[in-house]
Structure 1
């Protein structure tokens, strides 16, 4: 049997590796569930690997090579898939985000990364890494801004963000930085490229008091949820968890201001920052 060629790292190695996995699995007549069972992953996880929405780790690759008779192909090519400009805890989520058809996100204390400006992102990373070199900060900021190119497409992905009022009121980098980032969000809203709702302080207790939340949908793979903590992050695909997180986001939408009311509030706060006014 002719072995597939090793992948070109300059291509989309995750998608190509997934395609090879699907062909190899179907060739030997295994279901997704049967392939995943020995390594304790679900059939839906195998489907996400095949669709390119999840990264193939080395321990999985070795199993696939053995079961599917691939002569080490998957293990060799894990190196191409593993390369990322993002921190380890976020790399897989960023890769999934890049192929998502819809992203629904609740942001607690920060403007979401996809909506940040250069100056705002730099201030955030400076706070996270106070002893980092300028080069390190520049690399982090560049990677974050490159993610935002997802929004260059006029329609896909759908981005629906619920932003806590605290993110508007927390003065990151001073008034000019805050005015710029909020006007940037307003611009995207007015172009109807994103949907943004503000969860006001007056909403009181709400469904996501424990922290931020991100849900991602895909054309040909199950939905994913990404949860994170300082220097930690995890992609989840358990259907019960996805259903619970979807309900949480729906409740946040219901408790938040309408998009029109949110636009008015964000514009008002941006104007206040332009005049150098402080906020409670």
Structure 2
């Protein structure tokens, strides 16, 4: 998903960013039992007055940790977290936005990746290399904005009730030198740490595994609170979401076969650790 913003997207992101700023100013000024100045609120959320001023005037990026702190201090019941997620969602082309919405409310996410570490587990440096490779003419501001968006997407794994996440990676992902040895080593370390979470399972499909339905492209199966599963498939400049029951059942069966053919989570962790150590 390495796409530059077009004029329409840019306007939508600006609108969402302005809404965040206006809601922040309003919540601060209407705070009970008394209005909070920027300086007073900055102390409570452990940031600087200049940072809050830039956020309220839409002149700077929103620090990724700020929305949750604002919700906690201002008692806004997740409003600023939702607004920040909306800013991120609008930064993606419209064909990806339904996927973003599904992801945010999912109770289960199953991912297959034949080529790269999926976005939900990417480090900032790894994400930066991938984006610069896909959009070589992007300026540093655009690259930085993309990386922030990618990291903000990962908040779905950090809530009080995160989805159950299962990831199957082709073994080639561990060896593919898309970046420096150090960046890859740190990415594999992050992947190992992710796999230690109780709601995350990471498995590696060996290189000698048989061909399967998903061989050519990454696939994500996202299960909603209604227990309906959607199949998300991405390719060059395109993305599709499949809801047709027969196709969904076929995709689920294929994913189950992949998890059966893949190394166990423990064996996968050992393999990832071995490859990580070889990069030291």
Aligned pair 1:269/2:256, yes or no?
no
* Structure 1 pair 225–174 and aligned structure 2 pair: CA distance change class (3 A): same
Structure 1 residue ranges without an equivalent (≥5): 1-7, 12-79, 275-280
Q: TM-score, normalised by structure 2?
A: 0.67
**Do 2:114 and 2:170's aligned partners in 1 also have CA atoms closer than 8 Å?**
yes
Q: Distance in 2 between matches of 1:192 and 1:177?
A: 26
* 2:166 aligned to which of 154, 160, 182: 160
Q: Distance in 2 between matches of 1:89 and 1:143?
A: 16
Aligned pair 1:195/2:195, yes or no?
no
Where do residues 53-202 of structure 1 align in structure 2 (5 Å cutoff)? Answer: 84-153=90-159, 155-202=161-208
| Root mean square deviation of aligned Cα | 2.2
**Do 1:86 and 1:140's aligned partners in 2 also have CA atoms closer than 8 Å?**
no
1:204 Cα offset (Å): 3.4
* Structure 1 pair 131–261 and aligned structure 2 pair: CA distance change class (3 A): same
User: Which portions of structure 1, spanning 4 or more consecutive aligned residues, are displaced by more than 6 angstroms?
Assistant: 80-83
**Do 2:88 and 2:153's aligned partners in 1 also have CA atoms closer than 8 Å?**
no
Q: Distance in 2 between matches of 1:157 and 1:100?
A: 6
**Do 1:113 and 1:144's aligned partners in 2 also have CA atoms closer than 8 Å?**
yes
* Structure 1 pair 81–236 and aligned structure 2 pair: CA distance change class (3 A): farther
1:202 Cα offset (Å): 2.0
| Residue of structure 1 in register with 2:248 after alignment | 242
| Residue of structure 1 in register with 2:235 after alignment | 229
Structure 2 residue ranges without an equivalent (≥5): 1-14, 21-85
Say which SS state the counterpart of residue 177 (structure 2) adopts.
coil
**Do 1:161 and 1:196's aligned partners in 2 also have CA atoms closer than 8 Å?**
yes
Q: Distance in 2 between matches of 1:83 and 1:206?
A: 32
**Do 2:163 and 2:199's aligned partners in 1 also have CA atoms closer than 8 Å?**
no
Aligned pair count?
199
Deviations 1:248-280 (A, max 9, x none): 101111111011100100111111112xxxxxx
